[in-house]
Every structure is written in C-alpha cells, then in structure tokens.
Structure 1
C-alpha cells in the first residue's frame, strides 16, 4: 500500500485540463499527442513538485513508448519499447523512456488514468501499457481486465475511425491480445471489425492485402465461411480493378493474384488458382513496361 505522499502523484491542474481536452475529443489522434502537449506546457512551470514530475514521466512513458513491430520485444521482454536507446562504450544501456523509472505508485497512477479515461485511444493505450509492463515494473501480475479493456477499446477505435492510419495496427494488437489471453469471443469481434473496415476504407485493395497476410499468418485465427468469403471477394475486386483499368499496371496485379492463388490451392480449387494467375499474366503481358525496366531484363 502506498503512503499518503505517494498517493498524491498527479499532474498540475492545467495539465489535467489538457488531457481532458483530448479525452473529450470526438476525433482520432496519435497516442503520443497528449503527452507532447503536457511536456510543452510543463516547461513553463517554475516549480513542479516531485509527484508532478513522476506523473508527467508516467504519461510520457505510457503514451510515447513504441509498440514494437510484429511481435518483437524490448530488452525488458515487453511489447512496448523505448523511443530512444543507446549502448555506451562501457556496455551500459540508456533507454528513454525507461520502465525502470516506473514504480508501484506510478503504476497505480496510470491505473487511475486507465479507469478515468473515456476516449478509446487513451483507454486502449493506458490499459495495454499496464498489461504489458506492470509485472516487469513492480513484480505484480496485472489484472486480466486491463487486457480486456485494451481489446474492447481498440475495437471501438476501429469502428469509430476506420480510415485512420493506425486502425489496422491497433486492431492487430487487439487480436494479439485476445489470442494471448485465449478470449475467442473477443478475437472473433476483432476479426469482424477488421473485415468491416473493407466496407468503409478509402483503400479497400491495400487493406485487403494487409488483412489477408495478417489473418492467414496469425496462428490461432480461424475465419468462418462468411469472413473468408468477404476477404476473398475483396481480393478478387482488387485484382479486377487493376486488370480492368484502362492503363493497367500489370506488375501491381501480382499482389492480389498470388494471395488468391495461395488461397485457392489451399482450398482445393486448382482451376481457380490457375485463373487468377492467368489473369495476372495477361495483365503483365499487356503492360507497357517503363524503359528502365526493359533495360534491366
């Protein structure tokens, strides 16, 4: 249990107001954006208490640390890693933010933030960060409710902001979390949300390619017939869009074609696999390749 001084960890009221503005925003924003704002404001304060500084550092760590690509891990064994890391000549490692600077009182502070936040971007990030680093920072196991909150909030982000640059990354993380805690119901909801993006996105073709790779390569994911049909229909539409356009760039048809062929071969439909490869081949044959590519052949 923290003593009364430790329980007083909080931001100055002006910085609380800054976070509240982001929390009440109807718009999407990058997770780090609120912490950049409070960092800028904090420079104007002449006298910050130690507890103010600890709260600011906690916000910076939670909101600015990078979710590592794929399923990579930091040197701490966490999915979130520092934004800056240097290894000195003597072999010592300097990281920023450094989760060794987080202790039980600061984790408790972030736990309050996770509970109080209402914007799905913030609810997802605080909960996900705490789920990931609490054991390393404090030695205590985090509540499973943090993983569930992160998943549900990432799903909400996907529904509210289908065209965000970060939507597919957030949903991929949600799927990773759902599979890691063996929550099949939430995993299915994540997949449904991912596929629902195809109906709203400005770039259904590229998103379909990305989703095919994500959902077919992710161990533990099984698509129902309806989900699979939706994904394959999107790839077929992308192949047709490329090949039927007036000035088709044949080489681009390779991406949907090879994925469709892989699917049809796996599904026991070799004739369909041959069809999509033939369609790609015809588009490539009709493509007036740029001069520099012809020279390379």
Structure 2
C-alpha cells in the first residue's frame, strides 16, 4: 500500500487552484484544504497521510514569528498545556517522511508559480526536519524561479515583496550567481513600484539590499536606494505640505541613512538628517494634545542632542516637561464594566475599540487585566472538577535546574493561583492580538500615543527608550521590543515605589559602602506597593514579570534564559498591554493608608 495518497476531493481542489488566473493567498487555499480534510469519511491510513501533507503545506506560516524548528516555515501559533509543555499549531511531529517527496513531486508537476514555489520551498526547507534527508538543491532552484514568476501573479498585500526577498535569500544561500542577479533585479523592481505608488513597505526592500554584501548590489542600485531614502526624509519632514508630512516615515528613512553614512564618516549628513527629524517631530507636537506632545518632543529632544544642537535640545526639553505637567493636570478616571460574549469576536472588538482613543486604551487595559478573584475561583473549582490534579504537587523545570515547585491547592493556594495565570495569559492571546489589530485599523496610532499614555502619571522622566521599544513592537521586532521595554516597566515600577516612600536602593551584597537598585520582584512583593497597585494589577505584574510560577519575563530575559523563538508577538503584546496598565495604575490601585 502506498504511504501517501491524496484524497480525490483534495486533488481536485489543488487542480482548481493550479488553473487559477486571479491572485490568491495561502490562507484561501488553506481554508478549503482544511475543510476538505475535515469532510473525509473513514479515510485509509494512506489517505489520511496524503490529506495531512496537503493541509500542512499551507497551514505552516512562511517567515513566521515563532521559530521552534529554526526554519523559514513555522507554526501559526502555540499554547501551553497543563504540564507546561508547548504545543504548536500545526505541529510537524509525526509527519511521514514521504511528505517531502510528495511536495517535491508537486513542485515539478504543477503549473501555477505560487504553488510550485510553495511546494518546492517546503521540500527544500523541511527535508531534514520531516524527511530526515539532505536537501536537494534543485528544490531551491525551482522555488527561486517560481517565486520570481509569481511576483506579478500574486501581488496580494505584500506577498510580492516577500516572494522577491525569499527568492534572493535562497539564491544567495545556494550561491547561484545568475539567480542572485535575477532575484535582486526583481526586488529592485518591486522597490521602484513601492516608491512610485507611495504605499509604504519600502523598508523591506531597503533593509534587504542597502548594506548587503552577498547579493552583489551594484553601486548604481545602492545610489538609487540612498536617493530614495533622502526623498522620503525630505517629503516626510516638509512641514509646509500637510498632505505628505509624515515625521515617522521620515525618521525611519533617516535612521537607515544615518547608519549608512556613519560607515563613511559623513558627519554633516548625519547632523542634517537628525535636525530634519527633530524639527518635524517638534512641529508635529505643536498640534498635539499634551500627553501625545510630550512623547513627540522626546524624539525631537533626542535628535537635537545627538546632532549637537544644544539650544534646540534645551528648548524642546523644557517644552516636553511643560507638556508632561499639563497632561497630569487633566487626568481623569474611567470606569466601565463590560460583559463580553466570548464566542463573538466582532461584538467583543466593537465594545473594546471605540471612536475615542483614550477610552479604547482604558478598555484594552481593563479587559486583559487578570482578575485575582476569578483566578482564585478557578483554582478552587479544580478541587471539584479535577481533585487528583489539585492534590498532586508540580515541578517547573528549566534547562538545568528546578525553576519552581507548586504544592497542592490546599497546601499552596498562592502557588496554584500564580500557575493559573499562565492559562489566563494564553487564553487572552488571540483576543488581545485582535484588539491591537483593530486599534491600529480604527485609529491612526503611533508609538508616541502608547508612550504618552504610559506616562500619564509621570513615571518616565525620559521616554527615549520607551519609544525605541514601542517602535520595535510596531514593526514586529519582538526581540528588541522585549529587551528594551521590560527594563522600562521596571523603571516605572521603581518610580511608583519611590513615590510611595519605599526605598529603591539597598546595600551592595559584595562591595562595601555601595548601593544597588532594588529589582522588580522586590518592588512587586513589597506590601506598600502591592496595596497601592491593588490585588489585580499586583498579581498580573508579578505573574508576567517576576514569579517563576508565572511567565517570569523579566527574570527570563535578564538572565538570558529565553531562546530566540520565544520572542514573538504574544509576549510583546502582553508587555505593551502592561504599559497601558501603568497609564492607569492610580485608577486601578488603592490609595495607601497613612
């Protein structure tokens, strides 16, 4: 019996897509393939394997953010089970090795360039992981040629950019000079189209080509990229043209030029660019409310300082301090209880993301704040519904040590409560992601909006790093976002402690007569701070950042215990959500007793 047979219904579906002339994406075919697989009645073992091979081919995320297999293709998502084990969706474990041969055959028999590219790239990339065999360079060659053919056929969203970049990456990897030249030329063509249409996404092409040493970028092409970046800075920083004025885009282009000019010591050009960006953000701040203006002026101040423009720096620094004070004078408390049906995402989003941005921030902050009372009830319910699990102690293992031990529900109720937060964080992942997605769709928000909100109570004297982290989050650079923002959260909590009269330094454990700052764990487990923050905020931040029985992000990051694949959109979203919470900490919290 053959190891793999594609059911007839799914074979017909593949043939139909192979004959399509109009563009389609991987999600369209994935949805139909999954539905066809679910509709199978008593498939044979070989048919089940064939159905899975087709579903898996389009369920995997190309260039995704989770990367547990160190490959170009990864899972769409993941979750954690009751034992702390990570589960991936989809998971490649157990996939028959014959799947690789099947994908390779598809790449050679089909006609549509997108399908050929997808199957060939899968056969190339997943050979060792699934097929347990060496890669076949012909798979890479087929993928490159098909990706280049698919650019015009599949120009849906930013897929033409992704196809061109993937073709170039593969060509460089296999050291194919002809294909490298063709892929680079195609990517330059995509870049010119993006510049002509002024639709954004230019950073993908520029970042891939400007400073690349392996793609054989010519001097003429590099000069064109630099010229295009200069035009973006000029247009985006032009305060006399409101229709084209875009300080954020100007800053993004300027940062790339500054890195480029820095290699050649072009000091005057760097100063010119920093001044232009500073002036554009200063102008932007002049028309913004105090909370947003303070965050915008932070960027202007930083740019003037780096450019050596002391008078401009001092002027905008004073303006920023004035705006922070003005924002504090107009603080308001927002109270709204929302009951949300969990099976209705659209209704949920309509309730959370509303026309008023401040109210939206409040609702996102409140909706995804853990409720200590609800979690305690869930732990108590475990005694009734799963008494055996409730009484068995648990051990949380790290790579080379015991990270934490959790007793029974009766003996260690707080440990169980803290462990329960992990399930709450995982349950919230899709809801929070969709809330942020809808927020960006409905409002023209920028990192400055988030920074200004987080600083409503003056927790940040300098918002430079806060903005750096939020910009990284916005562009989905989750590694940088986490490493920059988590220390900023700790800084803000230390400010809370200081305002409450809690000592924020302690004696150095080794160096005599020296002091060190107290850490996040000491802050969050301080009774006075916990009382001021309130039980929900305290538990939420303890679990997210500082307790080994929770997510423990601060300690995991600070001690280098997280792998690259663990930095993806969900932890980053939780960190940004905690910044929204900090903007409301006085409204959430309880006033300390005298």
Distance in 1, matches of 2:131 and 2:248, equals 52
Structure 1 counterpart of 2:292: 293
> Taking structure 1 as the reference length, what is the TM-score of the superposition?
0.83
CA RMSD of aligned residues (A): 2.8
Structure 2 counterpart of 1:6: 2
Instruction: List runs of 5+ in structure 2 lacking aligned partners.
Output: 296-319, 321-594
Partners of 1:11 and 1:56 within 8 A in 2: yes
Residue 163 of structure 1 and its aligned partner are, at CA, apart by: 5.7
User: Is 1:223 the equivalent of 2:222?
Assistant: no
Structure 2 counterpart of 1:276: 273
Residue 92 of structure 1 and its aligned partner are, at CA, apart by: 5.0
Partners of 1:10 and 1:109 within 8 A in 2: no
Structure 1 counterpart of 2:112: 119
Distance in 1, matches of 2:189 and 2:132, equals 39
Residue 285 of structure 1 and its aligned partner are, at CA, apart by: 4.2
**Deviation by residue 1:224-258 (Cα, 9 ceiling, x = unmatched):** 11211221222122223223352234454212222
Q: Which of 129, 132, 138 is equivalent to 1:139? A: 132
Structure 1 counterpart of 2:185: 192
Distance in 2, matches of 1:199 and 1:249, equals 20
Residue 31 of structure 1 and its aligned partner are, at CA, apart by: 2.0
Distance in 1, matches of 2:167 and 2:83, equals 39
Q: Which of 149, 152, 156 is equivalent to 2:145? A: 152
Structure 1 counterpart of 2:557: none
User: Is 1:48 the equivalent of 2:46?
Assistant: no
Partners of 2:113 and 2:146 within 8 A in 1: yes
Structure 2 counterpart of 1:30: 25
**Deviation by residue 1:253-283 (Cα, 9 ceiling, x = unmatched):** 2122222233233345444434433433443
Residue 87 of structure 1 and its aligned partner are, at CA, apart by: 4.4
Partners of 2:18 and 2:110 within 8 A in 1: yes
SS where residue 189 of structure 1 aligns?
helix
Distance in 2, matches of 1:262 and 1:84, equals 34
Q: Which of 243, 259, 262 is equivalent to 2:259? A: 262
Structure 1 counterpart of 2:472: none
> Taking structure 2 as the reference length, what is the TM-score of the superposition?
0.44
**Deviation by residue 1:55-79 (Cα, 9 ceiling, x = unmatched):** 1100111111123447x7424x433
Q: 1:272 to 1:222 in 2, by over 3 A?
A: farther
**Deviation by residue 1:110-167 (Cα, 9 ceiling, x = unmatched):** 2221111221211111111111112222322131010111122222223444563222
User: Larger deviation: 199-208 or 179-188?
Assistant: 199-208
Aligned residues: 290
User: Larger deviation: 179-188 or 123-132?
Assistant: 179-188
SS where residue 5 of structure 2 aligns?
coil
Instruction: List runs of 5+ in structure 1 lacking aligned partners.
Output: none
Q: 1:83 to 1:276 in 2, by over 3 A?
A: closer
Partners of 1:99 and 1:137 within 8 A in 2: yes
Structure 2 counterpart of 1:169: 162
Distance in 2, matches of 1:110 and 1:264, equals 45
After superposition, residues 67-146 of structure 1 pair within 5 angstroms as 67-69=62-64, 73-75=67-69, 77-90=70-83, 93-146=86-139
After superposition, residues 51-66 of structure 1 pair within 5 angstroms as 51-66=46-61
Structure 2 counterpart of 1:240: 234
Q: Which of 246, 250, 253 is equivalent to 1:253? A: 250
Partners of 1:134 and 1:142 within 8 A in 2: yes
Residue 205 of structure 1 and its aligned partner are, at CA, apart by: 6.5
Structure 1 counterpart of 2:11: 16
Partners of 1:192 and 1:227 within 8 A in 2: no
Structure possessing the higher radius of gyration over alpha carbons: 2
Partners of 2:64 and 2:73 within 8 A in 1: no
Distance in 2, matches of 1:38 and 1:250, equals 44
SS where residue 95 of structure 1 aligns?
strand
